[in-house]
Structure 1
Amino acid sequence: MYISKKSAWIFSTSLGLFLAVSIPSFSQKKKVAVPVTIDTAKKKITPSTDIKSYQEIIPADSKTMKGFFKVHVVKNRYFFEIPDSLLNRDMLAVTRISKGAEQFVIPLFNIGFSGDELGRAVVSFDKIPGDRLVLRSHKFGQLSRDTTANGLFQSLKNNALRTIEASFPIKAINAENKSTVIDVTDFLNGSGLISAFTQPIPLIGDLFNNVAIDRSYLASVQAFPENVEIKAVKTFTSNKLLNTTELNSSIILLPKVPMKPRLKDPRIGYFANNYVDFDANPHRVSPVQYILRWRMEPKPEDVEKYQHGELVEPKKPIVIYIDPATPKKWVPYLIAGINDWNVAFEKAGFKNAIIGKTAPVNDSTWSMNDARHSVLVYKPSVVPNATGPNVNDPRSGEILETHINWYHQVLDLIQSWYMIQAGAVDPRTHKPELDEELMGQLVRFVSSHEVGHTLGLEHNFGASSTVEVEKLRNKAWVEANGHTPSIMDYARFNYVAQPEDNISEKGIFPRIGEYDKWAIEWGYKWLPQFSTAEQEKSYLNKWVIEKLASGKQYFYGSQLDPITDSFPLNTTDPRDQSEDLGNDAMLASTYGIKNLKRIRPQLMSWTYQKDNDYSRAGELYKELVNEFGRFMGHVQRNIGGVYITPKTVEQPGSEYEIVEKAKQKRAMEFLYLQLFNTPSWLIDTKLYMVTKTDFNLVTKIQKDILKSLLNNDKITQLISLESNFPGKAYTASEMLKDLESAIFSNLSINKATDPYRRDLQSQYVAILMTAMKSDDLSATQTVLETHAIHLAEKIRIDAKRSVEAPNKNHLNSLYRHLKRALDAKVNINSGGKPNA
């Protein structure tokens, strides 16, 4: 059985989330009324006189809709007729926005559009004493199936009482059909759709309560074989954010027997539901994860064919409709992006497993909000993004439906990406706006990526690192294999390719790759020979080991902690990065910079439009600088980096390997040559004069990389690696020495320093001073202080030698600030007060 575990939505950025539990204290004793206990099992309950005959409550002229339970409409009152067979059956309630309020979008979450989900909950109907039918909610997080004397099934059951969210007097009983009738009108007209039918996303749920009943109404209720759809217009008055929104709540009957789950493996990237399993280990509590995936099974008549390796159509294919409001020109490309995944499902033994379709026209029975239908929803939003969420059965991880979010402004994002990353090799980019066919292919790529998420796949940020950089310039190889083995990587486009390589679109665009095919095969292969997820474990482990040994292209690099594939974010393994290409960041970035140097002088001419200004050129210049910054970030991650490769005991080799010292030193040299040595090729005075751009965009990147290198965590990591890998590590002292040489390389040359370099040196000293503010006596602080003492002396000597006034004044200022910080540090550590 399953038992609840309260979960929290955690957003991990630069902010931390602190949760506090408040425990009341009792300073005074109060008289407590002793409850009266009634043994309802022994006492005969007399039916309430409020229960009427079925015909009296549901007259012959009532409107009745037959679904998995009946819905009756009698004089604007709504009645649910719940069969006894559905009592205590799990149902999933999902509430979405059907029509968004005028110009009402919640910042940060970007929620407020048609199709946006507000929350979901597992609910069930149950009878209680007093002639009442109640709606209970159920949460999931802990499980035990062991009903033996040594198992915890009964113990968990004793602590699994479901919360009563709403209570309804029984209005009538249909003895013939063994069903109970309740009046749900007031419940649906009030806040029930929010309070009982959802476990809303924190912060969002608070904005969708306080229903103004006089400004709200129930629009419709429809019953279907697997679901009931409720549409209501609600006016909310929370936090002074008055808005009127049309909501659609779906009540979905979950399978009586949940789909057999599949255990998550950190070597393959699948989203998963988390549980505490009390059966997995008899001596401790063990976490388990069930991956999210659609139910994919052969038809009964095709089982033998499937088991003999013949491709068969699934019993129930995945069908994703395109929002009827989608601009028609993009529909074929969005559908193509959906259907592209069929090549992956064929590896799992299924053909025509996923189908993209246009939405039915003039069909009153079809609704985008109907929980039976999966839809790609097109949203008039300024947010440059698209997302691929899903609704799943929390008992098993079975994906039931998806509403893919496609925000209109994503078109501008992918256009800018392509113009900057492929502008040097694709002449079709040499214009203000890309043509429709090229934009369509970009739409197709993003559609495929988001559909991958709806199939359960996480980002594979390590995929592109398995490709040798030089192969990305090999026309025959890259056009045959693609520039990354996974469309789930953020590898975007092949920015390594040079004009002389003559590589076509096939070698520039991402596609469903070998990793994607393998991941779908592993997750969706039907294994009827095993009755439980635990029985599959050894078989699947052996399969993964064999596959990984057969080629690097099957490697999965997590966006999160590589060992657990969960938070915190992965900031250690340089293979697992977004927006990067190839197995050598320094070489790949060198090629990328060559192309950026070709593009930058052309921005004003390529974007020239009569009767317009140069704002488009300014936007692309910012994107070009951002791309340059991403290159620097890719390289920086090698310094202090560790390759983390999750393995089971049956696999040879280490899980943790330090990035080669020579490679880390190459990374530092690259940063010196390409970043700290002022990249004057990025200066575009002509563009600065006609747009809101300047070189500060570049100096910010310099400062950000400096902060990452002088960060206490980075220094601590280097010290740790020096201890764990003696003789092999790039030490913190070595790194700081090389960094100092890169930033202050001109101090020994008796000539004026350019203002950008002086600013960089000032930033270096300021960041170093901040890093030393800690009053602890850790090895990290010792290394930083030692470095600061050496640097201060170097600056003092060079200030005396300098003859150029700007240099001399600059160096004297740096020395004074650094000396003051060191003196303060000494006083704090010795118990004294800092100098004024």
Structure 2
Amino acid sequence: MVADNKKPKPEFPSADEITKKMTPMEGFFSLYKKNEELYALIPSSKFNKPFLLAMTISSGVYGGMQWDHMMVYWQKQGKKLLLMRPDLRYRAKKTTMEEVVQRTFPATIIRAVPILAKSGSKYLIDLAGIFKSDIAGLSVVAPFLLEGQFQLNPTLGTWNKVKVFPSNVELGVKLAFTGVKFSGDENFSDTMDLRRSYPLSVHFSLAAIPPSSYKPRVADTRIGYFGVAIKDFAKKYSARNKFHRYINRWNLQKIDPSLELSPPQQPIIFYIEKTVPYRYRKYVKEGIAEWNKAFEKIGFVDAIIVRQQTATQFNDLDPEDARYNFFRWTTNELGFAAGPSRVNPMTGEILDADIIFDDSMLRYAAGSHVSMNNAFALLKHDAKFAKRLEAMGKLNPLKRLHFISPQQHEKIQRKRNLLSVMRKRNIPVCTHGEHKCQQLRLAYGIMRAKGKKDVPLEFIGQFVKEVTMHEVGHTLGLYHNFKASSWLSIDKINSEEKPAATSGSVMDYNPINFAPKGKPQGNYLTTTIGPYDYWAIQYGYAQVKDAELQKIAQRCAEDGLAYANDLYASAIDPDPFIFRWDLSSDHIAFAKQNRELLRQLSDDILKRYVAEGEEFHPVRQAFDMLLAENAYNSIVVARSIGGQSLYWDHKGDPKARNPFVVIPAEKQRQSLKFLNETIFASPNFSPEVLNHLAPGTWWHWGTNELDNIATYPLHDMIIAYQTVVLLNLIEPMTLMRLENSPLQIKKGDEVFTIADLLDGLTDGIWSELYALDKNKKYTNSTPFISSFRRNLQQAYLDFWIYYFLDDEIEISIPTDAKSIALKNLTFLLEKIEEILQNKDILDSASVAHLLKSKYNITEYIDE
């Protein structure tokens, strides 16, 4: 028998043979490229070793936005290489539970690709199978990003950047999303539009996790930081919970701990991208560097270093590269800014951060952008209140806004869906810039009313600085603080003292501060970080032992350190001071100032807002803005009714406050009185202004200036805003708190109850029933009850009958509220019948309104 000397066929072809005509790129992973072919040679020594996979939307809508990041590792399975993602939320190190945890919460397969070839202990794979796929998960959000129905076409993906370094690989891919159907396209053509595709570029960073001496810092409910949470099954069974909660922060350590002021071993370096307009670079730099004041207080000098990228300096640095932190300029036409960061999910150590600032935000200062200044704009990011409105069915105030185009409805819903997806993917969401756009349009109107043609550069610069400070705060790990704006009174802010910090923190959504004519004008914007910001940085970065951290956190009751985040900032949440876009420790004073300001602006709207030769559509836009701002001020005040201040103090803290403190009854009465006298009162508009509310007639791509109806829908707008405020007052959570509040206050203290609210609303909204002048003859042009008030009173009856007393609405209403509502209806019926005895002196519309009201009440009571 002749021996078979044939060598066994190798498991894989030779990688050297396949790659010999390709360009090699040595680094963290060795790559080989030829045209659109891109292969990686992965050594087995790197199997099961975690590295960071970071994704950035590098071009297209939201270009420049850090999108997602995760810890991953390579694993071989037969003839495939798997990209795995471990579930780092669970652990049980060095215990018998460790194996159980790993078995129960296994790593997930992100992508599986075939092994093409082998060279020694290195395996060759095609990276297109990973990165030209939808690994970033953009197909889910493509309808929201691209305003239509799109699906990824992997065959059209192209590499637009490939760079390799010793500790990271940087890959850019231009993905193609093919249109299926486009929103708002009434002339959609299957034959034409199906062939359209939209490029959306994604940058991937594959980076080694650097060795670090970083020590995680425990999160505390009294101070707001983003963080990571890990459930540890190695904890004792007696532990109150299994979680480790760590704040997100940079690894700042002094070069010389013995020095009172020392540079850090590794400073935080921000590069201002060369795309930032020259006129704004100064303000961006100031906004970033402002945080050094807080770091100097705790012993760091030059903790943050700012460098300007130019055509010659730092020009070779890629903003998407995970090794560098950039401030970037974009033009997404979305009017926003964002400051996300990437962290080690096991420790909370921040590894990389980028800030994007949308150029279109500043164009609102020139009045050149259109913003939706109606009830939708007030509520589009308030998910809790939006759900409450939807539950109201036919009583939903926003259903009255039938004149809003389907495209505008869809745009709002699309944005809400996008934010929901981002939250579910644990991508921090900051809508700080969006309402600032409306603030800038208000600034434009005020500057024109003051005789200035344009908003001054210095004002815009301070605006850029404040937004920059806010977003930099996020990149340092700080969460929002929506209670900080309650620090100072409006009189203190607008005083000769002109405090530089108008709010306790730049991490609030602070409105621009405008004083009416004849009043001192303080700073328009907070020009520096506030006391809370210093305190938060002290907790996060001070070089102290763990025992000292508690002493720092115990300062929470000190002046200017109030804190509360997004969780309880809805219009239906209890604390009136945890809110967006409010300012001052006295909301009524704040609202009064703004109402006077808006009245003055309204007086000048025709004289100064539109220049000679311009169309009149901007008058309608400005008028919309005035109505929206007044309505928002009313909601700010309304939240005091049924309100309770929330505090996060711990047991044993100096000056510890109760978690709940009921808003004083007198303040609630004052708030209801203010609302009855303002938002619920009959408005008074100049006929000249109303006759110049011209519709927008531009109708083409990229604009929403077209008004669906030519005549301005004044009554619909007014009643929509009024009923939004009314619903805020009588929604179930407010009534529940009013029901509980008598039990929460000290015996003998004054209390504000459900009866006080409902009786007060009845008296205010139906005040005409007490004001009949029997010596006067009312006419249709001078009616007994104005058309605005007739609308409001009918809405009142709808709420009282169908909301409080109709069992078909599945909303839990306190029994007392139902009883008092019925009592008020009975009382109203008596008063209406009494007034109708004098119908000979009443105008026709008022009589008809009262008869209809009587019929509605009688029909319900007779049932």
TM-score normalized by the length of structure 1: 0.80
Q: Are 2:689 and 1:686 aligned?
A: yes
Q: For 1:446 and 1:684, how far apart are their aligned partners in 2?
A: 39
Q: For 1:509 and 1:664, how far apart are their aligned partners in 2?
A: 29
Alignment deviations for residues 8-65 of structure 1 (CA, whole Å, 9 cap, x no partner): xxxxxxxxxxxxxxxxxxxxxxxxxxxxxxxxxxxxxx99713456654555x75333
Q: For 1:757 and 1:214, how far apart are their aligned partners in 2?
A: 62
Query: Superposed, which structure 2 residues align to 1:374-393 within 5 Å?
Result: 374-393=325-344
What SS does structure 1 have at the residue aligned with 2:771? coil
Paired amino acid for 1:774? D
Alignment deviations for residues 514-539 of structure 1 (CA, whole Å, 9 cap, x no partner): 11111112112234x5xxxxxx3x53
Paired amino acid for 2:842? E
> Which ranges in structure 2 are unaligned for 5 or more consecutive residues?
1-6, 183-196, 366-435, 696-711, 774-783
Partner of residue 795, structure 1:
832
- Contact residue 428 and residue 434 of structure 1 kept, 8 A: no
Q: For 1:481 and 1:113, how far apart are their aligned partners in 2?
A: 33
Partner of residue 139, structure 1:
87
| 1:684 CA displacement | 5.8
Q: For 1:716 and 1:659, how far apart are their aligned partners in 2?
A: 14
When the two chains are superposed, the root-mean-square deviation of aligned CA atoms in Å is 3.3
Q: For 1:684 and 1:260, how far apart are their aligned partners in 2?
A: 67
User: Aligned in 2, Cα 1:304/1:70: closer, same or farther, shift over 3 Å?
Assistant: farther
Partner of residue 243, structure 1:
198
| 1:663 CA displacement | 0.8
Q: Are 2:765 and 1:743 aligned?
A: yes
What SS does structure 2 have at the residue aligned with 1:577? coil
Partner of residue 659, structure 2:
655
Partner of residue 673, structure 2:
669
Q: Are 2:129 and 1:187 aligned?
A: yes
Query: Superposed, which structure 2 residues align to 1:239-638 within 5 Å?
Result: 239=180, 242-255=197-210, 259-280=214-235, 282-283=237-238, 285-299=241-255, 302-305=256-259, 310-361=260-311, 365-411=316-362, 412=364, 414=436, 417=439, 420=442, 430-476=451-497, 479-495=498-514, 497=515, 499-503=517-521, 505=523, 508-527=525-544, 529=545, 536=546, 538-545=547-554, 547-549=555-557, 551-561=558-568, 571-638=573-640
Paired amino acid for 2:679? L
| 1:642 CA displacement | 0.5
- Contact residue 52 and residue 171 of structure 1 kept, 8 A: yes
| 1:222 CA displacement | 1.3
Partner of residue 16, structure 1:
none
Partner of residue 12, structure 1:
none
| Candidates 770, 795, 798, aligned match of 1:763 | 795
Q: Are 2:856 and 1:817 aligned?
A: yes
| 1:449 CA displacement | 1.6
| 1:66 CA displacement | 3.1
| 1:750 CA displacement | 2.0
- Contact residue 313 and residue 353 of structure 1 kept, 8 A: yes
User: Aligned in 2, Cα 1:163/1:559: closer, same or farther, shift over 3 Å?
Assistant: closer
TM-score normalized by the length of structure 2: 0.77
Alignment deviations for residues 307-355 of structure 1 (CA, whole Å, 9 cap, x no partner): xxx2222222222333433333223322222222221222232222223
Partner of residue 14, structure 1:
none
| 1:303 CA displacement | 3.1
Paired amino acid for 1:231? G
- Contact residue 500 and residue 528 of structure 2 kept, 8 A: no
Q: In terms of mean alpha carbon deviation, does 518-527 or 202-211 score higher?
A: 202-211
Partner of residue 117, structure 2:
171
Alignment deviations for residues 523-560 of structure 1 (CA, whole Å, 9 cap, x no partner): 12234x5xxxxxx3x53222211x234x3111113332
Q: What is the percentage of aligned positions where both structures have the same residue? A: 24
User: Aligned in 2, Cα 1:765/1:127: closer, same or farther, shift over 3 Å?
Assistant: same
Alignment deviations for residues 391-426 of structure 1 (CA, whole Å, 9 cap, x no partner): 2222222222223232222111657525746977x7
| Candidates 756, 768, 777, aligned match of 1:734 | 756
User: Aligned in 2, Cα 1:455/1:823: closer, same or farther, shift over 3 Å?
Assistant: farther
Query: Superposed, which structure 2 residues align to 1:706-717 within 5 Å?
Result: 706-717=726-737
| 1:574 CA displacement | 0.9
User: Aligned in 2, Cα 1:77/1:594: closer, same or farther, shift over 3 Å?
Assistant: closer
Q: In terms of mean alpha carbon deviation, does 74-83 or 157-166 score higher?
A: 74-83
Q: Are 2:742 and 1:781 aligned?
A: no
- Contact residue 262 and residue 299 of structure 2 kept, 8 A: yes
Q: Are 2:804 and 1:804 aligned?
A: no
- Contact residue 50 and residue 73 of structure 2 kept, 8 A: yes
Alignment deviations for residues 626-655 of structure 1 (CA, whole Å, 9 cap, x no partner): 222222111100000001101211123311
Aligned residue pairs total 728
Q: For 2:531 and 2:325, how far apart are their aligned partners in 1?
A: 26
Partner of residue 33, structure 1:
none
Q: In terms of mean alpha carbon deviation, does 359-368 or 657-666 score higher?
A: 359-368
Alignment deviations for residues 73-117 of structure 1 (CA, whole Å, 9 cap, x no partner): 3686433233454332222212333332xxxxxxxxxxx242234
User: Aligned in 2, Cα 1:161/1:460: closer, same or farther, shift over 3 Å?
Assistant: closer
Alignment deviations for residues 568-590 of structure 1 (CA, whole Å, 9 cap, x no partner): 88721011122212221112222
Partner of residue 86, structure 1:
46
> Which ranges in structure 1 are unaligned for 5 or more consecutive residues?
1-45, 101-111, 530-535, 563-567, 825-836
- Contact residue 67 and residue 225 of structure 1 kept, 8 A: yes
Q: For 2:686 and 2:550, how far apart are their aligned partners in 1?
A: 54
Ranges of 4+ aligned residues in structure 1 off by more than 6 Å: 205-209, 421-424
Q: In terms of mean alpha carbon deviation, does 467-476 or 255-264 score higher?
A: 255-264
Q: Are 2:101 and 1:156 aligned?
A: yes
Q: For 1:358 and 1:818, how far apart are their aligned partners in 2?
A: 70
Partner of residue 9, structure 1:
none
Q: For 1:153 and 1:313, how far apart are their aligned partners in 2?
A: 41
Q: For 2:177 and 2:803, how far apart are their aligned partners in 1?
A: 48
Q: For 2:337 and 2:533, how far apart are their aligned partners in 1?
A: 19
Q: Are 2:146 and 1:217 aligned?
A: no
User: Aligned in 2, Cα 1:273/1:200: closer, same or farther, shift over 3 Å?
Assistant: farther
| 1:671 CA displacement | 1.0
